[in-house]
Amino acid sequence: MTGRSVLQSLRFKVAATVVLILAVAMGLVFAVQYRSYRHQMLQRLDLASTPLSDVIKGSLRHAMQTRHLEQVAAIVDNVSRQSGVIKVLILDKKGQIRFSPDRAEIGTRLPLDDPTCQICHRITPENRSKTVMFAAADGGQVFRNVNPIANEPACFGCHGSRDALLGVLISDFSVAGVERRLAVESRQMLLALLLAAGVTAVAMTLMMNRLVVARVERVVDATRLLGRGRLDLAVTVGSRDEIGELATSFNEMVEALRRAKALRERKELLESVLDNIHDAVVVFDAGGTVLALNHGAEVAFGLDADETVGLAPALLGPGQEGLFGRARRAGPVTAELPLARADGGTFPAQVRVALVDLPRSDSAAGHEVAAAGHEVAAASSLAYVAVVRDLTEEKLKERLDEQLAQTEKLAAVGRLAAGLAHELNNPLGNVLMYAKLFEERLDHDDPGAANARRIVDNILRCRTIVRSLLDYARQSEVRIAPTDLNEVVERSMELVAGQVAQRRIACDVALARDLPRVECDARQMQQVLVNLLQNGIEAIEDGHGRLALLTRPSADGAGVVVAVHDSGRGISPENRPHVFEPFYTTKAEGTGLGLAISHGIVERHGGRMWLESVVDGPEHGTTVYVELPVAT
């Protein structure tokens, strides 16, 4: 352990604190004891000086009454030479020194600022005393006893009876002895205090180290190991005091960290699983705010999770609240619906929404809702989990499978139609020839002539059907070129304009501007559009309908869509799967080949055709869509 760390350690701080406290406490004790002992010794000196002064005054009384002044001077000299006595002075009532061992002082007067004079001239009567202590000229302390000499009857002969006080007997005693004794006693007392302080300091330090520092160091060591990732720790201090509570709290914290680590590992596992799920997973709170979403959701919706979490976009479309309500009332709900991407495109999706109860926690680490690494504080324990499956590839596969099946079916029908057409064409030609010969032999008014004409008309209709079969089976060569689809639409409308006007049908044309050119055979696409327009015209009653054409870019921008809408009766749901099959028709005089041929032409262009139809309601009618790829 370095010197710096020793000074910063708790043991050193505890020991230094104990020593400092004891030093201050012992210093105060020593100061109080020193003052008390010195005061006691001075009191003893005071008590001893007054009787001695009275003895001196008694000895002087006889010499003064007998007027033996030389005897008075001798007594003053002898007493002044005694051990501990500095000098004895006798002053008259005017403060003039009459007797002193120092003959130079005799006849002098004490000044008013002398400590002796201050007793009567400065100090209030209630604070006056017979003793005073002051510093002598040599720096030593002098203890002075002032004993007044009263005017007694025996003194009236010389001094008269007018004055109550004849003078003052001053006895000066040296305090050096007291100071020496006090110094010896102080040293002994100081040594005793230092010994007691040392023993106390050692005892208190050992006790603090045992009861506090050692147990705190156990907690510190455990904390250091905890910081290195050790979670298999438990601190035992064996007490129920504050340190015991600290150890208990530490153990509870370690246990909470163990649980948090296990929870984090499970969370990371869940995040890894969710991040590797292709489906989109989105967690909403009860108010529709996004709490979390996985990587699949970022890809599916084209969103950035960090920017989306905490917002409330209607990711599940305008019916999102309805899905939440159904999930809340009836449990998990599944629906197929188109969803929007951030770039404005849409994709078909299967959505499953379930209401879950998320675990709540009051701690900062416990209110996380995690899915794919994006965390946000949950405001409520209720949340909606939506699993969104992108059906684009599945729908495309289904459409391709349907197209393949349709193609195979149409190819088989085409082969059959080609064989039938060739087999029927010659017999029909012979029947037509003989029917016309038979008609020519009959007069115009002959009843048989009308029957002959019916035979010819039906044979011609059969030849038209056979020709359509040949056209369907032949699949003439497609001449692909970049084409302005709007021009094809306009030419197609010109071809049916007469029928539209004759049947008094309202016609709306909405052509998008600046459309890219498409890869198609203009002649065949015109054939498709004319077929669709004629179907729409035939579905509308005269003077009671509307025909509409529009063009627009496809949702992904890779194609152009043309839509033909009629306000006819619509196509029933059971008939819709068969509308592109050959020979399937709901019209009395239809061949059932028009949509089949058109569907085949669109597929050979690499496009697709589909329809939407409404049978009931004010918006009844049928819309057929054709999508062609943009020219590269």
Alpha carbons within 13 angstroms on the beta-carbon side of residue 410 total 31
User: Given this model, what pLDDT does residue 208 score?
Assistant: 76
Range with the lowest mean pLDDT among 251-260, 354-363, 435-444?
A: 354-363
pTM of the model: 0.39
Are both 410 and 261 inside the same structural domain? Answer: no
Are both 299 and 413 inside the same structural domain? Answer: no
Q: Kindly state the average pLDDT of the residues 406-429.
A: 70
pLDDT band at 563 (very low <50, low <70, confident <90, very high): very high
Q: Kindly state the average pLDDT of the residues 534-543.
A: 82
How many distinct structural domains can be found in the chain? 5
Cα(first)–Cα(last) distance of the chain, in Å?
A: 79
pLDDT in tens, 64-97: 777 777 887 888 888 888 887 888 888 887 888 8
pLDDT band at 417 (very low <50, low <70, confident <90, very high): low
Residue 202 lies in a domain: no
Query: Beta-strand (E) ranges in 66-160?
Result: 85-92, 97-99, 131-135, 141-150
Map residue 509 onto helix, strand or coil: strand
Domain CATH number, residue 160: 3.30.450.20
How does DSSP assign 280-318, residue by residue? EEEEEETTS-EEEE-HHHHHHHT--HHHHTT----TT-T
pLDDT in tens, 248-273: 888 888 888 888 888 888 878 777 77
Are both 549 and 598 inside the same structural domain? Answer: yes
In sequence order, which ranges of 442-569 are alpha helices (DSSP H)?
Answer: 447-474, 485-502, 522-539
Range with the lowest mean pLDDT among 310-319, 457-466, 584-593?
A: 584-593
Asked if 554 contacts 485 with a C-beta cutoff of 8 angstroms, the reply is: no
Domain CATH number, residue 462: 1.10.287.130
Which domain, by its residues, includes 461?
396-474
Are both 84 and 123 inside the same structural domain? Answer: yes
User: Given this model, what pLDDT does residue 470 score?
Assistant: 63
User: Given this model, what pLDDT does residue 406 score?
Assistant: 63
Cα angle 454-459-465, degrees, rounded to a multiple of 5: 130
- 614, burial (CB in 10 Å: exposed 0-12, middle 13-18, buried 19+): middle
Residue 207 lies in a domain: no
User: Given this model, what pLDDT does residue 590 score?
Assistant: 59
Rounded Cα gap, residues 206 and 120, in angstroms? 60
Q: Which residues 6+ apart lie within 8 Å of 244 measured at CB?
A: 237, 238
Map residue 12 onto helix, strand or coil: helix
Q: Kindly state the average pLDDT of the residues 42-71.
A: 74
Mean pLDDT of the chain: 79
- As given in the structure block, the two tokens for residue 514 are 């600046």
Are both 174 and 63 inside the same structural domain? Answer: yes
Residue 85 lies in a domain: yes
- As given in the structure block, the two tokens for residue 475 are 């699949």
Q: Kindly state the average pLDDT of the residues 422-442.
A: 79
pLDDT in tens, 287-343: 889 988 888 888 889 888 888 888 888 888 888 888 998 998 988 999 988 898 888
Asked if 390 contacts 300 with a C-beta cutoff of 8 angstroms, the reply is: yes
pLDDT band at 486 (very low <50, low <70, confident <90, very high): very high
Are both 284 and 368 inside the same structural domain? Answer: yes
Residue 555 lies in a domain: yes
In sequence order, which ranges of 111-213 are alpha helices (DSSP H)?
Answer: 115-121, 156-159, 176-208
Asked if 166 contacts 150 with a C-beta cutoff of 8 angstroms, the reply is: yes
User: Is the confidence at residue 398, as pLDDT, over 60?
Assistant: yes
pLDDT in tens, 189-245: 888 888 888 888 788 778 777 777 777 777 778 888 887 878 777 877 677 777 778
Q: Kindly state the average pLDDT of the residues 25-49.
A: 79
Cross-strand partners of 389:
350
Place of tokens 């089949």: 596
User: Given this model, what pLDDT does residue 123 score?
Assistant: 52
Domain boundary among 325, 355, 389: 389
User: Is the confidence at residue 550, as pLDDT, over 90?
Assistant: yes
User: Is the confidence at residue 403, as pLDDT, over 70?
Assistant: no
Residue 200 lies in a domain: no
Domain boundary among 415, 442, 474: 474
